Amino acid sequence: DAQQAKVEEDSVRIEKEARETKIIAEDATRDLEKAMPALEAAMDALEKLDKKSVAEVKAYAKPPPLVMMTMCAVMTVMEKTPGWTQAKQELNDVQFLYKIKNFDKDNIKDGTLRKIEKYTKDPNFTFKAVDSVSSAAGALCQWVHAMKIYAEVYREVEPKRNALRRAQDKLEAKQKALREANDELKRVQDLVANLNKQFEDSNTEKETLQKTAEDLKVKLERAGKLVNGLAGEKVRWEASLGRLDSQQVNLFGDCIISSAFM
């Protein structure tokens, strides 16, 4: 009973921790979702880009100011030297769009984020303004803004995600311990049930043996009375046999005497 009470108490406590962990997860997810509209819009715009779009940008010998600003911002996010020479080198890489679409946005450094703000705070650095000059550059401008928004939100969310991971690890360990405790409790309960069954079977057998013993006792008592009764008959039978023996001895003489009177 004490073991079962402890398991039930642990179960209630772990259920409470599971609810608290769920709240942390929902909170972190809710914060992260703030960045998703901008990120999804940027990724949708990037999906429309192809090699032709990239070729359009790198074809500039001297790019327009907004295109130059956009490519410098992209280089800053990628932690490359912000300039047209470096930008053209990246644009010539056949993996450029893949790198942009699969960029490791979770690990943008604080220093990089501060440098990006130089561009994102510029009132001219907007998707609409850049897109009016170059649709490909407009999509990249949108991507830069999305990376900044995501990085800022991620910094708010990351402590919560770390707390969530710790809570989940702790909860998982406790749930495992609870499962083991439940298994042990079941083993003990099965053992107790088995012992109770053995006890009940023993009691049943004991009652059967007691009834058999009582029946035998009654039979023995009856047999004793019968034997005692037969012992009295033995004396009477022995006396009868004695008389018969005596009569047999006198039988011949009695017959001669009887014949003399005839």
**Residue by residue, what is the 3-state secondary structure of 19-45?**
HHHHHHHHHHHHHHCCCHHHHHHHHHH
Is pTM beyond 0.75? Reply is no
Single-letter residue type at 194? N
Task: Convert 216-255 to b/e letters by CB count within 10 Å (16 or more is b).
Answer: eeeeeeeeeeeeeeeeeeeeeeeeeeeeeeeeeeeeeeee
What's the pLDDT tens digit per position in 17-29?
Answer: 777 777 767 776 7
What's the token pair of residue 33?
């979702």
Smallest CA-to-CA distance from 150 within 87, 95, 104 is with 104
pLDDT higher than 80, residue 174: no
Of the listed ranges 108-122, 141-155, 212-226, the least confidently predicted one is 212-226
What's the pLDDT tens digit per position in 175-189?
Answer: 787 787 788 778 877
Quick count: other Cβ atoms within 10 Å of Cβ 54? 20
Question: What span, in angstroms and rounded, lies between the C-alpha atoms of 55 and 50?
Answer: 9
Q: For residues 152 and 113, is the Cβ–Cβ distance under 8 A? A: yes
Question: What span, in angstroms and rounded, lies between the C-alpha atoms of 245 and 250?
Answer: 9
pLDDT higher than 90, residue 141: yes
Q: Of all residues in the chain, what percent carry a pLDDT higher than 70?
A: 82
Q: Where does the pLDDT of residue 78 fall: very low under 50, low under 70, confident under 90, or very high at 90 and above? A: very high
